Amino acid sequence: MKRETCMFKPYAGSMDEFARAIRAKAEVIQAKCERIGAKNASAWTVAGFVYFYAEFDDDNKAGLRELLATWRGELAAMGVILAFPAEMRLMYHDIGVVREDKHLIRRRVFATHLKPGCADEYQARHQKLIDARGDRVTDGPESNFTIHCALDEYIFGYCELVKSYDHELTEEEKAQTIAWETRQLEIMDWYTDDVDWITGEKHEKIQNLFLQKGYEE
């Protein structure tokens, strides 16, 4: 399965208009998804940026760029694409056991901004997680998890959390999470509110602009 992402920056003052334009074309996009074989497609916004995500079978010659062509007029008139799918650098992956029934998962979609020169360090830290996992296929709680980077600067993460693994963090898990996230703050700043419970800061919740039918939670 190909998992592709793209990052878009609306011009100042045009975010609301762009969001309305995306929603107005929802049915057209749904039809385009079916026609080109896109799966689990979605669009998200936070901090004035828009992130697109979609999946395609490996043998499908179509891709996210073809899906984005449906919004060609809106994209050109209201902003600039910061990174096309081929330009989004894969920083981390943990696909695991993907639930086809999305009622079984909760999406965690997040965005951060890397500090200058920190892209390689970010990837290296996540590569250690991949190496530690080895060939093991994880059942949960994280699944279908990828992290991409635009311009060696902007991080976009997409993850499906398996609801059956939901539980209150143990003190050990909480300590491990705090240690990891505190160390990550050395090399990045958050756009989304994922670690506000640790830092005491206040960030936006990411908003969904589009979700392909049949993939609702």
Give how many domains the chain has, as a whole number.
Answer: 1
Structure token pair of residue 159: 């993850």
pLDDT of residue 72: 82
Residue 75 has a pLDDT of 84
User: Is residue 217 one of the residues assigned to a domain?
Assistant: no
What does the pLDDT look like over 126-147, one tens digit per residue? 999 999 999 999 999 999 999 9
Residues of the chain with pLDDT below 70 are none
Domain limits at 176? 2-211
Residue 155 lies in a domain: yes
In three-state secondary structure terms, 76 is helix
- Any residues with CB less than 8 A from the CB of 185 and at least 6 apart, and which? 195, 199
Residue 216 lies in a domain: no
6 belongs to a structural domain = yes
- Strand 39-46 and strand 207-211: the pairing is antiparallel
Q: What is the pLDDT of residues 165-183, one digit of tens each?
A: 999 999 999 999 999 999 9
127: in domain: yes
Q: Where are the alpha helices (DSSP H) in the chain?
A: 15-24, 26-36, 64-68, 72-78, 119-133, 171-184, 196-199
Q: Quick one: pLDDT at residue 122?
A: 98
Structure tokens at 100: 């086809």
Place of tokens 């984005």: 68
